[in-house]
Structure 1
Amino acid sequence: MMNCTLRKISEEDVTQLQVISRSTFRETFEDHNTEEDLNKYLDEQLSIKSLLEELKNPNSAFYFAYENERIVGYLKLNWTSAQTELIDEAAFEIERIYILKEFFGTGLGQFLLNNAITIGKAKKPTYIWLGVWEKNTRAIRFYEKNGFKVFSSHLFTLGNDIQTDLLMKLDITN
C-alpha cells in the first residue's frame, strides 16, 4: 500500500484540479473513445470555468490524493441537490474517483473509495451511489468487490457519443 494523504481542495486549487482531471480522464477513456469526443468533453466539462462552478457548490466537495507531494488522483462528492441524478435527496453520490494510470493496482483507488465512504457516511445518507460507464469493467468489478450493486442506469454524453452509465449503490443501513 502506498503512503497516501487526502486534502480537501478549494477554488484556489482549480488549475491543479483541471490538470489532474484532464489527465486522468484522458488516460482512463482514450482507448475506447475518439479524440474528437474526448477533446469536446474535456473542453466543455473540465474547463476552468466549469470546475470553478463545481467547486463553488456548497453541496459538493473535491479532494486531492497525494503520494508524498505529488497529486496522483482526486475525488468529487455530492449530496442533496448537487447530485447528478436526484433519485433521493437524502442519498450521497461519489461522482468522480480518478487516479493516474501508473497507480492502478497500487491501492490508491481503494484509499479514495474508503475515504469517500467515510465522508459520505458522516452525512447520514440513505445510501451511497455512483455511476460507472458500462464498458469500464475494471471499475465495475472494483465497486462490486466493495459491495456496490447495480440499481439503474442513465445516459452520459461524451462529446457527441451517447453512452450508458450503470448506477450502483452501497447499502449502508447495517
Structure 2
Amino acid sequence: MKISIEKVTTNDIPKLQEIGRSTFYEAFAGVNTEDDMKDYLEKSFSEEKLKTELNNRDSQFYFAMVDGNVVAYLKINSGEAQNEKIEDAIEIERIYVRQVFHGKKVAQALYQKAIDMACEQGAKWVWLGVWEENHRALRFYEKNGFKAFGKHAFWLGNDEQTDLLMKKELDHSNELKTL
C-alpha cells in the first residue's frame, strides 16, 4: 500500500469536511451524545471555519492518500495558530485516520510529515493535546516519544472533556526523514 501526502488547499474544503467529520464521528460517536457530536461536527467543519483555517499562514492541513482516495488528514499549527502558545514549537492539532486504515502506517506517515515540517522550521518541540480517554492515540504518541506535561479543557458540544498535553523535544539530526 503506497501512502502519499498532499497539501490541502481551499479547493479541497468539501473533501476536508468529509474526512474530518467521518473520522471524528468514527472515533468518538460511541462515547458522546448525539447532540454534542452534531454540534461539534457542524461548527468545527463548517466551510467558513475551514476556509479561515486554511487561509491562516500558521496552520497547514495535509491529506494522506491511498489509491487516489483521502484516508486521513493532519492539521499542524505554529505561532499564533497554536491552541496553547508554546515558543519554538509546532502543534499537531489533528491526526485522524479512517478506521479501516488503522494499523496500516497511515498515522505514522502523517506524524512523520509533522516532524519533518517542525525540523524544517527549526522548532525545538512538537506538542499536542489528546483526550485522556483516547487510549489508542495515547499509546501512539507515547510510542513516538511524547511525554505528558499538562492538561487543558476541550469542549465537545456542551461536554467539557480533558485533553492531556504531550510534548516531544526534537533532535534535528535524528528526526528528519523524507517519505
TM range (shorter): over 0.9
SS, match of residue 14 in structure 1: helix
SS, match of residue 148 in structure 2: strand
TM-score by length of 2: 0.93
Write the distance in 2 (CA, Å) between the matches of 1:34 and 1:77: 28
CA contact under 8 A between 1:81 and 1:89: conserved in structure 2? no
Write the distance in 2 (CA, Å) between the matches of 1:132 and 1:44: 19
**Structure 1 stretches of 4+ moved >2 Å:** none
SS, match of residue 106 in structure 1: coil
> For structure 2, which runs of at least 5 residues remain unmatched after alignment?
173-179
| 1:112-138, Cα deviation, whole Å (9 max, x unpaired) | 111111111111112000110000001
Query: Superposed, which structure 2 residues align to 1:22-61 within 5 Å?
Result: 22-61=21-60
- Map of 2:161 onto structure 1: 163
- Give aligned pairs, total: 172
CA contact under 8 A between 1:151 and 1:169: conserved in structure 2? yes
SS, match of residue 96 in structure 2: strand
Report the AA paired with residue 64 of structure 1: F
Write the distance in 2 (CA, Å) between the matches of 1:40 and 1:151: 29
- Map of 2:150 onto structure 1: 152
* 2:100 maps to 1:102: yes
- Map of 1:83 onto structure 2: 82
Report the AA paired with residue 42 of structure 1: L
| 1:16-68, Cα deviation, whole Å (9 max, x unpaired) | 10011000010011111111100000111111111111111011110011001
CA contact under 8 A between 1:64 and 1:75: conserved in structure 2? yes
> For structure 1, which runs of at least 5 residues remain unmatched after alignment?
none
Identity %: 48
Query: How much does 1:173 deviate?
Result: 4.0
- Map of 1:74 onto structure 2: 73
- Map of 2:5 onto structure 1: 6
Aligned-residue RMSD, C-alpha: 1.0
- Map of 2:133 onto structure 1: 135
Write the distance in 1 (CA, Å) between the matches of 2:8 and 2:107: 18
| 1:72-112, Cα deviation, whole Å (9 max, x unpaired) | 000001001110111x2321101110010111111111111
- Map of 2:177 onto structure 1: none
Query: How much does 1:162 deviate?
Result: 0.2
